[in-house]
Structure 1
Amino acid sequence: MTTAPPPTLEHTCEVALRPNDFDWAGHLNNSVYVQLLESGRWEWGRAWGGDLSESAPVAVVLQLRLDYLEAVGWDPVGRLVVRTSLAERTAYSFTLVQDVERTDGTVVARGRVRLGLVDRDTKRIRRADLDALLDLPRSTP
């Protein structure tokens, strides 16, 4: 019997850039990429039915890897695309892979973020039951 691979749950969103996102040299500031990834994660969660803003579990970043691939030059009214998908699930964490792209599809940064769930009140780690948290498509046997 073969089991279907878990869904990747891909989601894509556009994020607007602001003048203060750029450094003195006219490049997108390195810290803004982390904010772009966070925006992409919020949109990913909402797209799959998991808005954690009012829920008991809170998603916390356990590990973040970010590779800067290409500079983004001054464009204070530009937009970038954040593509997010599920890469891995364990009992107590899940990992998302995220690409930051120009609107033409050029990947300018690539991130990998491992998240855990913490109880909002007790601050204790919780099982990362994505099936209960998100509105995931049911796999057929």
Structure 2
Amino acid sequence: MKIEIAEHKKLAHSMELDVRWGDMDAMGHVNNAVYFRYMESVRVEWMRAVGCEPSPKGQGPVIVNAFCNFYRQLEYPARLLLKLYVSDPARTTFETWTTIERLDQPGVLAAAGGATVIWVDFPAQKAVPLPDWMRALVL
């Protein structure tokens, strides 16, 4: 299945990742929960690449919801291409979107999902406005 990412979503980061033997379940394909780990991996790698290193004594991102649509089964062995898109900065949140495809099947999505990120003051345990530097990255 081919899916186009809407124009308002901005490609922020991509990475390659290997399916590990332990990612599979008893049915012989990647367990659905592992797809969320894959999406987390590309999201965290992007945040680290842009200098977002949250501290429990400061501010940073928290995921408030996540979803994934599964189109094709993934199995070991496989090398994956994950692409992270960002969009829709609001006062305290922005959206992330991830596509997952096998490198040997370019353009054919195995899964696509996303997550809403909220910016939080960790000591106060409350949402705060997105910092200007993060807003600029998401616009």
Pick the TM interval, shorter chain: 0.7 to 0.9
Structure 1 unaligned runs (5+)? none
Q: Quick one: structure 1 residues 16 and 135, their matched pair in 2 at CA, closer, same or farther if it must change by over 3 Å?
A: farther
TM-score by length of 2: 0.80
TM-score by length of 1: 0.79
Once residues 42 and 13 of structure 1 are traced to their aligned partners in structure 2, the CA distance between those partners, rounded to angstroms, is 11
Pair member with larger Rg: 1
Q: Equivalent pairs: percent with the same residue?
A: 26
Alignment partner for residue 128 of structure 2, among 126, 129, 132? Answer: 126
Q: How many positions carry a matched residue from both structures?
A: 131
Query: Does the CA-based 8 Å contact 1:50-1:134 persist in structure 2?
Result: no
- SS at the partner of 2:67? strand
The one-letter amino acid paired with 1:26 is G
Select 1:57's aligned residue among 33, 56, 59: 59
Three-state SS of the structure 2 residue aligned to 1:82 is strand
* Structure 1 residues 73-119: Cα deviation after superposition (integer angstroms, max 9, x where no partner): 232xx321210011211011000111011113221100121110111
Q: In 1, distance between residues paired with 2:109 and 2:11? A: 19
Which residue of structure 2 aligns with residue 31 of structure 1? 33
Match of 2:79 in 1: 79
CA offset at residue 37 of structure 1? Answer: 0.4
**Distance in structure 1 (CA, Å) of the matches to 2:35 and 2:8:** 28
Unaligned runs of 5+ in 2: 1-6
Q: 1:40 to 1:86 in 2, by over 3 A?
A: same
